C-alpha cells in the first residue's frame, strides 16, 4: 500500500475553529488599523487535526478573530 502525502512548506495554516461555513468557507478578520471586523471568503486546502491550510483569501499578518 502506498499513501501519498503532501508537504506544503510555507503553507498558511489557521486553527480549524477559525473557519466557518463549510459550503462557502470564511474566516473573520479584524483590520489592524481601524479595528473593523469583516467576514472574508477563503479557499481551503488540506485539513489536519491541528489546522486547515488556506490557499487563498488571507495573507500572513492578517488578524483572525476566533469566536
* Total Cβ atoms within 10 A of residue 26: 15
The confidence band for 3, taking pLDDT boundaries of 50, 70 and 90, is: very low
Q: What are the grid coordinates assigned to 60, written together?
A: 500572513
Residues in the chain: 67
The pLDDT value recorded for residue 60 is: 86
The pLDDT value recorded for residue 22 is: 75
| Distance in angstroms (rounded) separating the CA atoms of residues 37 and 32 | 9
pLDDT tens per residue, range 41-56: 999 998 888 889 999 9
Pick from 33, 56, 35: which is nearest to 44 by CA?
A: 56
Amino acid at each position: 500500500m502506498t499513501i501519498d502525502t503532501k508537504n506544503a512548506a510555507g503553507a498558511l495554516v489557521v486553527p480549524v475553529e477559525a473557519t466557518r461555513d463549510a459550503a462557502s468557507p470564511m474566516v473573520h478578520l479584524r483590520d489592524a488599523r481601524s479595528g473593523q471586523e469583516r467576514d472574508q471568503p477563503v479557499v481551503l486546502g488540506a485539513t489536519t487535526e491541528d489546522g486547515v491550510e488556506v490557499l487563498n483569501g488571507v495573507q500572513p499578518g492578517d488578524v483572525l478573530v476566533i469566536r
